[in-house]
Protein backbone atom coordinates (compact mmCIF):
# COMPACT_ATOMS: atom_id res chain seq x y z
CA UNK A 1 0.00 0.00 0.00
CA UNK A 2 1.19 3.50 -0.79
CA UNK A 3 0.21 6.52 1.30
CA UNK A 4 0.65 9.79 -0.62
CA UNK A 5 0.74 12.56 1.95
CA UNK A 6 0.17 16.16 0.92
CA UNK A 7 1.37 18.41 3.71
CA UNK A 8 2.99 21.75 4.45
CA UNK A 9 5.06 20.06 7.16
CA UNK A 10 6.07 16.61 5.90
CA UNK A 11 8.92 16.53 8.44
CA UNK A 12 6.24 16.15 11.16
CA UNK A 13 5.36 12.77 9.67
CA UNK A 14 8.61 11.46 8.24
CA UNK A 15 10.47 10.82 11.51
CA UNK A 16 7.51 9.12 13.19
CA UNK A 17 6.96 6.84 10.19
CA UNK A 18 10.61 5.76 10.30
CA UNK A 19 10.27 4.36 13.84
CA UNK A 20 9.12 1.02 15.25
CA UNK A 21 6.64 -1.26 13.46
CA UNK A 22 5.84 1.14 10.60
CA UNK A 23 9.53 1.79 9.94
CA UNK A 24 10.11 -1.97 9.75
CA UNK A 25 7.10 -2.42 7.46
CA UNK A 26 8.44 0.24 5.12
CA UNK A 27 11.88 -1.38 5.00
CA UNK A 28 10.22 -4.71 4.16
CA UNK A 29 8.33 -3.01 1.30
CA UNK A 30 4.90 -3.70 2.83
CA UNK A 31 4.00 -0.04 2.91
CA UNK A 32 5.38 3.09 1.28
CA UNK A 33 5.09 6.76 2.27
CA UNK A 34 5.36 9.37 -0.46
CA UNK A 35 5.51 12.98 0.70
CA UNK A 36 4.37 15.96 -1.35
CA UNK A 37 5.41 19.24 0.21
CA UNK A 38 2.58 21.60 -0.63
CA UNK A 39 5.00 24.55 -0.62
CA UNK A 40 6.55 23.10 -3.81
CA UNK A 41 3.22 23.69 -5.58
CA UNK A 42 2.70 27.20 -4.16
CA UNK A 43 2.00 30.22 -6.36
CA UNK A 44 4.49 32.89 -7.38
CA UNK A 45 7.89 33.85 -6.10
CA UNK A 46 6.98 33.12 -2.47
CA UNK A 47 5.23 29.82 -3.17
CA UNK A 48 2.02 31.11 -1.65
CA UNK A 49 -0.36 28.38 -0.45
CA UNK A 50 -2.97 30.33 1.55
CA UNK A 51 -5.04 33.47 1.20
CA UNK A 52 -7.68 35.49 3.06
CA UNK A 53 -11.22 34.10 3.11
CA UNK A 54 -13.89 35.50 0.81
CA UNK A 55 -16.55 37.02 3.01
CA UNK A 56 -13.97 38.15 5.55
CA UNK A 57 -13.21 36.77 8.97
CA UNK A 58 -10.17 35.59 10.87
CA UNK A 59 -7.62 33.11 9.59
CA UNK A 60 -6.36 32.03 6.20
CA UNK A 61 -7.70 29.43 3.77
CA UNK A 62 -5.54 27.01 1.81
CA UNK A 63 -5.75 27.94 -1.87
CA UNK A 64 -7.16 25.44 -4.36
CA UNK A 65 -4.48 25.61 -7.10
CA UNK A 66 -1.49 24.24 -5.11
CA UNK A 67 -3.63 21.43 -3.68
CA UNK A 68 -5.03 20.53 -7.10
CA UNK A 69 -1.51 20.50 -8.59
CA UNK A 70 -0.26 18.17 -5.84
CA UNK A 71 -3.23 15.80 -6.25
CA UNK A 72 -2.73 15.77 -10.04
CA UNK A 73 0.90 14.84 -9.54
CA UNK A 74 -0.04 11.92 -7.29
CA UNK A 75 -2.54 10.73 -9.91
CA UNK A 76 -0.06 10.94 -12.76
CA UNK A 77 2.59 9.08 -10.70
CA UNK A 78 0.10 6.28 -10.07
CA UNK A 79 -0.90 6.26 -13.73
CA UNK A 80 2.76 5.91 -14.76
CA UNK A 81 3.33 3.15 -12.19
CA UNK A 82 0.38 1.21 -13.63
CA UNK A 83 1.79 1.51 -17.16
CA UNK A 84 5.00 -0.14 -15.95
CA UNK A 85 3.42 -2.75 -13.70
CA UNK A 86 2.54 -6.33 -14.53
CA UNK A 87 0.02 -6.37 -11.66
CA UNK A 88 -3.49 -5.04 -11.86
CA UNK A 89 -3.76 -2.36 -9.23
CA UNK A 90 -6.43 0.18 -8.41
CA UNK A 91 -5.93 3.00 -10.94
CA UNK A 92 -7.56 5.79 -9.05
CA UNK A 93 -6.39 6.54 -5.52
CA UNK A 94 -8.82 7.28 -2.70
CA UNK A 95 -8.44 10.93 -1.78
CA UNK A 96 -9.06 11.66 1.90
CA UNK A 97 -9.09 15.05 3.59
CA UNK A 98 -8.39 14.96 7.32
CA UNK A 99 -10.97 17.35 8.72
CA UNK A 100 -12.65 18.01 12.07
CA UNK A 101 -15.89 18.18 10.06
CA UNK A 102 -15.43 14.73 8.55
CA UNK A 103 -16.95 11.38 9.42
CA UNK A 104 -15.48 9.85 12.56
CA UNK A 105 -12.61 7.42 11.88
CA UNK A 106 -13.28 3.90 13.18
CA UNK A 107 -11.66 0.47 13.16
CA UNK A 108 -14.07 -0.70 10.51
CA UNK A 109 -13.08 2.26 8.28
CA UNK A 110 -9.41 1.33 8.86
CA UNK A 111 -10.22 -2.23 7.73
CA UNK A 112 -11.89 -0.98 4.55
CA UNK A 113 -9.01 1.37 3.74
CA UNK A 114 -6.47 -1.41 4.30
CA UNK A 115 -7.80 -3.14 1.16
CA UNK A 116 -6.78 -0.24 -1.11
CA UNK A 117 -3.49 0.13 -2.97
CA UNK A 118 -3.13 3.94 -2.93
CA UNK A 119 -4.46 6.50 -0.46
CA UNK A 120 -3.96 10.24 -0.76
CA UNK A 121 -4.07 12.17 2.52
CA UNK A 122 -4.55 15.92 2.50
CA UNK A 123 -3.38 17.61 5.68
CA UNK A 124 -5.07 20.97 6.18
CA UNK A 125 -3.90 24.01 8.16
CA UNK A 126 -5.21 27.43 9.18
CA UNK A 127 -9.02 27.58 8.65
CA UNK A 128 -8.87 24.58 6.35
CA UNK A 129 -8.91 24.11 2.56
CA UNK A 130 -10.96 25.79 -0.18
CA UNK A 131 -14.33 24.02 -0.41
CA UNK A 132 -13.89 23.49 -4.18
CA UNK A 133 -11.06 21.02 -3.54
CA UNK A 134 -13.45 19.03 -1.37
CA UNK A 135 -16.17 19.24 -4.02
CA UNK A 136 -13.94 18.34 -6.96
CA UNK A 137 -11.20 16.05 -5.64
CA UNK A 138 -11.96 14.65 -2.18
CA UNK A 139 -13.67 11.26 -1.86
CA UNK A 140 -14.10 11.40 1.91
CA UNK A 141 -13.53 13.78 4.81
CA UNK A 142 -12.27 11.94 7.88
CA UNK A 143 -12.15 13.22 11.46
CA UNK A 144 -10.23 11.55 14.26
CA UNK A 145 -12.52 13.01 16.93
CA UNK A 146 -14.67 15.93 17.97
CA UNK A 147 -11.93 18.42 18.75
CA UNK A 148 -9.84 20.78 16.63
CA UNK A 149 -6.10 20.36 16.06
CA UNK A 150 -3.73 22.85 14.46
CA UNK A 151 -3.15 20.71 11.37
CA UNK A 152 -3.93 17.44 9.62
CA UNK A 153 -0.52 15.81 10.17
CA UNK A 154 -1.34 14.16 13.52
CA UNK A 155 -4.69 12.87 12.22
CA UNK A 156 -2.87 11.55 9.12
CA UNK A 157 -0.42 9.68 11.37
CA UNK A 158 -3.30 8.20 13.36
CA UNK A 159 -4.99 6.95 10.18
CA UNK A 160 -1.74 5.62 8.66
CA UNK A 161 -0.88 3.73 11.85
CA UNK A 162 -4.34 2.18 12.25
CA UNK A 163 -4.48 1.12 8.58
CA UNK A 164 -0.88 -0.07 8.17
CA UNK A 165 -0.96 -2.44 11.14
CA UNK A 166 -3.81 -4.31 9.40
CA UNK A 167 -1.73 -5.03 6.29
CA UNK A 168 -0.55 -8.63 5.95
CA UNK A 169 2.93 -9.11 7.42
CA UNK A 170 3.14 -5.76 9.24
CA UNK A 171 2.53 -7.21 12.71
CA UNK A 172 4.51 -10.21 13.91
CA UNK A 173 2.58 -13.45 14.47
CA UNK A 174 2.52 -12.72 18.21
CA UNK A 175 0.91 -9.31 17.59
CA UNK A 176 -2.14 -10.31 15.59
CA UNK A 177 -4.70 -7.62 14.86
CA UNK A 178 -7.60 -10.07 14.36
CA UNK A 179 -8.74 -10.25 18.00
CA UNK A 180 -8.53 -6.70 19.26
CA UNK A 181 -10.77 -3.93 20.48
CA UNK A 182 -13.39 -3.02 17.84
CA UNK A 183 -12.41 -5.95 15.59
CA UNK A 184 -15.06 -8.00 13.81
CA UNK A 185 -13.94 -11.06 15.77
CA UNK A 186 -14.74 -9.31 19.07
CA UNK A 187 -18.06 -8.08 17.60
CA UNK A 188 -16.69 -4.50 17.66
CA UNK A 189 -16.48 -4.60 21.47
CA UNK A 190 -13.52 -3.56 23.63
CA UNK A 191 -11.01 -6.31 24.28
CA UNK A 192 -10.83 -8.38 27.50
CA UNK A 193 -8.21 -7.50 30.19
CA UNK A 194 -4.64 -8.82 29.90
CA UNK A 195 -2.37 -10.18 32.62
CA UNK A 196 1.26 -11.31 32.68
CA UNK A 197 3.74 -12.40 35.39
CA UNK A 198 3.79 -12.17 38.41
CA UNK A 199 0.71 -14.15 39.46
CA UNK A 200 0.08 -11.68 42.28
CA UNK A 201 0.95 -7.99 42.03
CA UNK A 202 0.57 -5.68 45.04
CA UNK A 203 -1.99 -8.08 46.49
CA UNK A 204 -4.01 -8.45 43.27
CA UNK A 205 -4.05 -11.98 41.83
CA UNK A 206 -4.50 -12.95 38.17
CA UNK A 207 -8.02 -14.40 37.63
CA UNK A 208 -7.58 -18.14 38.40
CA UNK A 209 -9.21 -19.28 35.13
CA UNK A 210 -6.29 -17.80 33.17
CA UNK A 211 -3.90 -20.09 35.06
CA UNK A 212 -6.07 -23.17 34.57
CA UNK A 213 -4.78 -24.13 31.10
CA UNK A 214 -8.42 -24.91 30.19
CA UNK A 215 -8.70 -23.32 26.73
CA UNK A 216 -12.49 -23.42 26.45
CA UNK A 217 -12.95 -21.83 29.87
CA UNK A 218 -10.35 -19.16 29.10
CA UNK A 219 -12.09 -18.36 25.79
CA UNK A 220 -15.42 -18.14 27.64
CA UNK A 221 -13.92 -15.81 30.32
CA UNK A 222 -12.44 -13.58 27.63
CA UNK A 223 -15.76 -13.46 25.77
CA UNK A 224 -17.59 -12.49 28.95
CA UNK A 225 -15.03 -9.81 29.78
CA UNK A 226 -15.24 -7.90 26.50
CA UNK A 227 -17.03 -4.58 27.04
Give contact residues for ligand SAM (rule: CB under 6 A). Answer: 98-101, 123-125, 127-128, 143-145, 147-152, 155
The CB-of-203 to ligand SAM minimum distance in angstroms stands at 41
By beta-carbon proximity to ligand SAM, the closer residue of 9 and 182 is 9
By beta-carbon proximity to ligand SAM, the closer residue of 145 and 208 is 145
Half-sphere exposure of 145 (CA within 13 A, CB side): 7
Angle at the Cα of 142 from the Cα atoms of 140 and 147, rounded to 5 degrees: 150
By beta-carbon proximity to ligand SAM, the closer residue of 155 and 186 is 155
By beta-carbon proximity to ligand SAM, the closer residue of 31 and 61 is 61
The CB-of-157 to ligand SAM minimum distance in angstroms stands at 11
Q: Which of 126, 145, 124 lies closest to 134 in space, CA to CA?
A: 124
State the burial class of residue 116 (Cβ atoms within 10 Å of its Cβ: 0-12, 13-18, 19+): middle
The CB-of-77 to ligand SAM minimum distance in angstroms stands at 22
The CB-of-133 to ligand SAM minimum distance in angstroms stands at 11
The CB-of-119 to ligand SAM minimum distance in angstroms stands at 15
By beta-carbon proximity to ligand SAM, the closer residue of 7 and 210 is 7
- Concatenating the DSSP letter of every residue in 19-36 gives SHHHHHHHHTTS-EEEEE
The CB-of-97 to ligand SAM minimum distance in angstroms stands at 7
CA dist., res. 32 & res. 50, Å (int): 28
Q: Which residues contact 186 (CB under 8 A, 6 or more apart)?
A: 179, 180, 226
Q: Measured at CB, which residue is nearest to ligand SAM?
A: 124
By beta-carbon proximity to ligand SAM, the closer residue of 122 and 210 is 122
The strand order across the sheet containing 94-104 reads 32-37, 2-7, 118-123, 94-104, 140-143
Give 96's strand partners. 121, 140
Amino acid sequence: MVFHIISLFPQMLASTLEASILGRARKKGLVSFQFYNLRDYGKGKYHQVDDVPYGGGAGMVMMPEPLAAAIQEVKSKIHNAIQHSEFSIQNSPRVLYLSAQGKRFTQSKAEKLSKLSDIVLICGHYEGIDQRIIDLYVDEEISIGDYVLTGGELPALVLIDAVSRLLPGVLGSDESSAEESFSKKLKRKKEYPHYTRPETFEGLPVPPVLLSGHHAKIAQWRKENCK
